[in-house]
Amino acid sequence: MSTRDFNEHSITDAVVERFADTPDPRLKQIMQALVRHAHAFVREVDMSQDEWIKAIGFLTRTGHITDDKRQEFILLSDTLGISMLVDAINHRMPEGATETTVLGPFYVQNPPLKPADADISGGEHGVPLYVTATIAAPDGMPLAGAHVDVWQSDEDGFYDVQKPGDDPNLRARFTADQNGKVSFWTIVPKFYPIPADGPVGDMLKATDRHPYRPAHIHFMIDHEGYETLVTHLFIEGDPYLDSDAVFGVKQSLIVSLEDGAGAPPAAANKPSGTIWKRLDHNFGLKPAL
Ligand code: BEZ
Ligand code: FE
């Protein structure tokens, strides 16, 4: 192959060839496919110089706004559906195992460990919600001792880490009991916008897309011998279930809240007469290979 005078037709093969000696075969495969697909994209849209400079500017702003608290590249991957595509490819679940969805940027490692029936709402306004969940293997065997991390936004759509102050709120870790069960009080979650004041928000605006995620509670569930499950439970009836800004909704993860009947269970701080909801759910973990 000639090593100079590349034109719009010959340049792709020349660049692919330049990676031919990559020692790691997987890296070689990825780099060569990246070049082929990126060149095909540029050809397909007949990219102008001006547009390419704009694209570089967009990525530069995405880098500049990213720090240890804000990860705009992940948000970009989420809003382009790439996070969910990678998730789907890597989590083909057997019967009886709960489906996965995006982690999102608001997970905090080692959240406060709370006892069964703890109230994680920290006094936030909202309709009280009593959650009970069982953690089991796909064959139904309860997974005692599983760690269950939960986190969610407040009624205004903000996570604790987005607000001033360091107190963890609406997040906790529970340990499943002998029957694989955890239970806690929280508040009914509400839909909220993903951070939209940066380049990803500009992209959503320019393309007439909204930034909302349907109401959900996040779960990360961990037990030795099983794959860590990262998922959410979405609330039936939410107006954004069919247009989640990050494509994270799966039918099997949509749950209905039941009206709480009678006095709230295990809730000394909920006066009788309180209107409350309940959610019962079974999670299945996939055995690790
Ligand atoms: C979240 O649900 O916390 C989330 C997920 C992806 C992007 C932004 C937020
Ligand atoms: Fe979330």
**Per-residue pLDDT tens digits for 4-38:** 788 888 999 999 999 999 999 999 999 999 999 99
How much distance in Å is there from the Cα of 194 to the middle of ligand 1? Answer: 6
- Residue bearing the CA closest to ligand 1, atom 5: 104
Residue 86 lies inside a defined structural domain of this protein: yes
Report d(CA 208, CA 202) in Å as an integer.
10
Ligand 1 atom nearest 106 alpha carbon: 3
The per-residue DSSP string of 72-114 comes to HHHHHHHHTTHHHHHHHHH--PPTTSPPP----TT--SSPPB-
Same domain, 35 and 174: no
Question: 174 — phi, psi (to 5°)?
Answer: -120, 155
Residue 203 lies inside a defined structural domain of this protein: yes
**CATH no. for residue 253?**
2.60.130.10
pLDDT of residue 1: 59
pLDDT of residue 206: 98
Same domain, 114 and 42: no
| Residues in the chain, overall count | 289
The first and second tokens of residue 130, run together, are: 């009593």
> What sign results for the dihedral spanned by CA atoms 24, 25, 29, 30?
negative
Residue 204 lies inside a defined structural domain of this protein: yes
How much distance in Å is there from the Cα of 104 to the middle of ligand 1? Answer: 4
CB 171 within 8 A of CB 120: yes
pLDDT of residue 267: 66
Same domain, 163 and 22: no
pLDDT exceeds 70 at position 164: yes
- Residue bearing the CA closest to ligand 1, atom 4: 104
pLDDT of residue 162: 86
**Per-residue pLDDT tens digits for 245-270:** 999 999 999 999 999 888 788 766 77
How does the average pLDDT of the chain come out, rounded? Answer: 94
Residue 72 lies inside a defined structural domain of this protein: no
pLDDT of residue 271: 77
- Residue 231: pLDDT band with limits 50, 70, 90: very high
Same domain, 33 and 159: no
Total tally of structural domains belonging to the chain:
2
How much distance in Å is there from the Cα of 182 to the middle of ligand 2? Answer: 20
Please choose, from the candidates 245, 200, 201, the residue with its C-alpha nearest in 3D space to the C-alpha of residue 81.
245
Same domain, 193 and 243: yes
- Residue bearing the CA closest to ligand 1, atom 1: 104
Same domain, 179 and 230: yes
pLDDT exceeds 80 at position 157: yes
- Residue 122: pLDDT band with limits 50, 70, 90: confident
Residue 195 lies inside a defined structural domain of this protein: yes
Q: Which neighbouring-strand residues pair with 280? A: 132
pLDDT of residue 203: 98
Same domain, 7 and 112: no
- Residue bearing the CA closest to ligand 1, atom 6: 104
CB 168 within 8 A of CB 238: no
Same domain, 102 and 178: yes
Assessment of whether the complete model's pTM goes beyond 0.75: yes
Same domain, 7 and 134: no
Report d(CA 76, CA 275) in Å as an integer.
39
Same domain, 24 and 98: no
End-to-end CA distance of the chain: 45
Residue 69 lies inside a defined structural domain of this protein: no
pLDDT of residue 184: 96
Report d(CA 214, CA 189) in Å as an integer.
9
Residue 262 lies inside a defined structural domain of this protein: yes
Residue 21: give the domain boundaries: 1-47
Same domain, 84 and 193: yes
pLDDT of residue 2: 65
CB half-sphere exposure, 165, CA atoms < 13 A: 6
For residue 37, give the H/E element and its range: helix 25-45
Same domain, 151 and 275: yes
Residue 225 lies inside a defined structural domain of this protein: yes
**Per-residue pLDDT tens digits for 42-54:** 999 999 999 999 9
pLDDT of residue 218: 98
